[in-house]
Amino acid sequence: MKKPFVTLEQLEKMTAEYPTPFHLYDERGIRENARRMKAAFAWNPGFKEYFAVKATPNPAILKILREEGCGTDCSSLTELMMSDRCGFTGSEIMFSSNDTPPEEFVLAAGLGATINLDDFTHIDFLKDTIGYIPETISCRFNPGGTFSIGASKEGFQVMDNPGDAKYGFTPAQLKEGFIKLKAMGAKRFGIHAFLASNTLSNEYYPTLAAILFKTAVELRDETGCDIKFINLSGGVGIPYHPDQPANDIAVIGEGVRKAFEEILVPAGMGDVSIFTELGRFMLGPYGCLVTRATHEKHTYKEYIGVDACAANLMRPAMYGAYHHITVMGKEDARCDHRYDVTGSLCENNDKFAVDRMLPRIDIGDLLVIHDTGAHGFSMGYNYNGRLRSAEILLKEDGSTALIRRAETPDDYFSTLVW
């Protein structure tokens, strides 16, 4: 059973100051997880985690992660701007985008960010846009086909289909691209790949690493390019269901180390730095959506209406994604009521849970929707004119801080021309 990182007593104090719904983040959990991540890859002197800003784009969160030694992985103009304003500079910023507008390359170059190109045609586009090719450059690799590592020791099979993904260079394009970039002035190279999402297997990163390490050796031998870093990107997941196994980042780091020593060290590439770009793993479990039961409906099914909706958390409506729900104060009560837990949008998929067995829910009960620390608030929107909620930080000392106020009707109307 999932246990909230906050108590009912704490939430009652918070809701006296901050009306529901709101997203709540656990500073202590975030810091401890960042330190586990760093320790797992401490064997690699150049290791750096570039937090995926798209997962949780909040300055307070980014500043915490910067204090813990992380950089940022940006994919848009505003994410670059936020990183800059939070104090990230130069190589602390990784810029990985696709179908990239020219002004985004201009800003990335101006900030000294490491640019990770998504496509072979972007080589000339980048040169034409900023007037030069940076001396340090990275390219995103897509091996095509279907990626699978079969059943792991955890009993979870990782499968994805890179061949259908819009991202990255083909193997032939990657070789040609490195040769072209080197001729245009690039001196230091990186390789990046993302082959599967939200994997619950300690074998995903080591398997991906082995693929990229072998690719790096081949590219070095065939192009003469100096490969300085290999970026494993994201894909390490979290257990949304309470009965799913959690990844062990220490085991994952050790698996990558073994592949490193088996492949890169004998090839004379033992100085290559390892980068990661995790979002969900870094933040997912350390955020929750706090909402209050406001209505109950008894028709063909039993419904509980809450004051949050898909505008606050899109994943269940968009993907049918599971998010565990705790009825605060009733953690030990029997789950003997079957509910659909719904929001107020004019869409039938605006449901946080369908046929979920929960304790009896009374009007006014506070509900914690778990694992919204990544891709929660960030995917919000304003359909039906619903306003996006506040973000609150539960600090290490137990106090709280408002790190993003809730939207108001004035915010909603501010961009309109009457």
Q: Which residues are catalytic?
A: 346
Rounded CA separation 209/204 (Å) = 8
Give, in order, the Cα–Cα distances in Å from 299 to each of 105, 193, 340, 351, 410. 54, 49, 11, 16, 37
Q: Single out the residue of 195, 192, 189, 141 nearest to residue 168, CA to CA.
A: 141
Residue 325 phi/psi, 5-degree rounding, is -125, 130
Surface-to-core class of residue 16, CB atoms within 10 Å of its CB (0-12 exposed, 13-18 middle, 19+ buried)? exposed
Sign of CA pseudo-dihedral 83, 85, 87, 91: positive
Backbone angles phi, psi at 68, to 5 degrees: -90, 10
Retrieve residue 282's tokens. 């870094």
CA atoms within 13 A on the CB side of 405: 5
**CA 250 to CA 36: how far, in whole Å?**
7
Closest CA to 291 of 195, 363, 375, 226: 363
Please say whether the beta carbons of 29 and 288 come within 8 A. Answer: no
In eight-state DSSP terms, residue 284 is G
8 Å CB contact between 245 and 328: no
Q: Please, which residues bridge with residue 275 across strands?
A: 48, 231
Supply the angle between the helices 59-67 and 27-40 in degrees, to the nearest 10: 40
- Token pair of 124, please? 């000339």
Q: CA 383 → CA 43, 65, 265, 294, 314, distances in Å?
A: 47, 32, 53, 20, 11
